[in-house]
Structure formats: structure tokens, C-alpha cells
Structure 1
Amino acid sequence: MDLDALLAHYFGTDEPEALDATVRERGEERLRIDFGVEQEPSRKFALWVVMEGLGIAPLPAEAFDEEPALKTAAEKYLDAAWKLERD
């Protein structure tokens, strides 16, 4: 999945930080809904990564409670992101 395309789809721009609060909230809500109904594992994980980047992702245990492999992948993603941020 292309990050810029996802941001443009949900927010109408690839720079959601430049949006006013109302437009950003609507995009975030659409993203949450699509994440909640997505059935394809790799697409669901990609949507979660976008949500994480925006600071709105649920914890891996909540997001992927019925999908242990995705839960593990999300936890590893957070570990790697934390290490990058720390260094």
C-alpha cells in the first residue's frame, strides 16, 4: 500500500497535519471504520500502521485480538519504532 495514497484517500492530502481539526477528525473516523471492517490481514495491518503514525491506533492486543500473527507484528513494529526514536 502506498502511504501517500492512503493519506490522500482519508484526508484529501498527504499532509494531514496541515488540516483543520474538523477535516482531520472526519478522516480519522473513516480510517477507524475501515480498519474495523477490513478482513484482509495485510491491508488491516497497513491501516493500523497509518493510524499509529497519526497517534490514533489501538494497542496491538486490542487491534488484533483475534489475529495473533498481526498482534506480534504490530508489537515488533512498535519496538522497532521506539528503538529508532530512542536512538
Structure 2
Amino acid sequence: MNMADLLQRYFGTRDLAAVAPAALPAGVERMRVDFGMTADPGQRFALWSLLLVLGEAPDLDVAFPDEESREAARNLMDMLAAATDQPE
């Protein structure tokens, strides 16, 4: 799964900026349902990552049963935080 495909599937566009604000809640809800139903670790991580970007990700201890996946999620969170830090 790649992010563009996830955006297309849940929001009808491959461009996050083009998602209508009114469409966000329904797409997020569908993502949460799929996240809860899938057992594939890669799919779960991809869905969680997009939910994170949207500010809707479940807590790590709820989302990932194993420490390895939680650590990967923490690493992603750190990378995203570093990418959004603007030098002064």
C-alpha cells in the first residue's frame, strides 16, 4: 500500500490537499474500521501512518501489539516531527 493509493481509496483523490473538509470524517471512519479488521502488519502500519498524518491515529499501545511495530511507529513520528521543524 502506498499513501497515494490510500488517499484514492478513502477520499477519492490522490492529493491530500484536494480532500474536501466535509469528506474527512467519513474517510477517517472507513480507515479506522479497516484498521481494526486487518491483520496484515504492513497494511495496519500504512493505515496507522495516514491516520497519524490526519491527526486521528490510535495510541501505539492500542494500535500495535508488538514492541517492534511500536518502535517503527515511534521512528516515523520522530521523522515527521523533524521534517516539520522549521529552522530559524
Please, what TM-score do these two structures have when normalized by structure 2?
0.83
Q: What is the number of residues matched between the two proteins?
A: 86
Higher mean alpha-carbon deviation, 68-77 vs 10-19, is at 10-19
Please, what TM-score do these two structures have when normalized by structure 1?
0.83
* AA of the residue aligned to 2:68: A
Deviations 1:11-36 (A, max 9, x none): 11123444444422111100011011
How do 1:25-36 and structure 2 match up within 5 A?
25-36=25-36
With a CA cutoff of 8 Å and minimum separation of 6, indicate the structure with the bigger relative contact order.
2
CA contact 1:31–1:47 (8 Å) conserved in 2: yes
Which 5+ residue runs of structure 2 have no aligned equivalent?
none
How do 1:3-14 and structure 2 match up within 5 A?
3-14=3-14
Superposed CA RMSD: 1.7
* AA of the residue aligned to 2:24: R
Query: Shift of the alpha carbon at 1:56?
Result: 0.9
The residue number in structure 2 matching 1:45 is 45
